[in-house]
Amino acid sequence: VPSITRSVDHDKILALRQQTQFLWDAYFSSVAKIVLTTLEIIQDRINSHISRNKLMWNSLPGGLYVLPQFSTDAAVFPFYYSSLGKSPSQEFTAVIQAVTPLQSQLQPIVKLVIAVAKSKFCAQ
């Protein structure tokens, strides 16, 4: 056994240490995280049709920060692009919330919406 452990490459050991540190920080560093992780795993097992995959659990930011109700496809989450070999889209979606009723077409919020909508990079 000692000869086998000595034969492991130092880069591999570093990668395993980093993965262990991530798992500890994300899921085991407090009682609250352990309980939340356990509940999320149970939920994933019950609702297997909308469960997180192993990439989501084992890569930053971690399974607790990914809502499977939004999507179970890692490709729609920007923080998994590098793991999947994807690059970000050149387009964006703008969400603009107005809390007061619009009185005229000259208000700044209307001008902002028109300017954003004219952008060739705006997808929605």
Query: Which tens digits make up the pLDDT trace of 21-44?
Result: 999 999 999 999 999 999 999 999
Distance of CA 107 to the CA centre of its chain: 36
Its pTM stands at 0.64
Within 10 angstroms of residue 90's Cβ, the number of other Cβ atoms is 8
For 39, the token pair is 């509940």
Taking a C-beta distance cutoff of 8 angstroms, is the pair 42, 60 a contact?
no
Query: Which tens digits make up the pLDDT trace of 66-95?
Result: 888 888 888 888 889 888 998 877 777 777
Give the start-to-end residue ranges of the domains of the chain. Answer: 2-84, 90-124
For 48, the token pair is 């297997």
| pLDDT(2) > 90 | no
Residue 119 has a pLDDT of: 82
Which DSSP letter does residue 72 get?
Answer: S
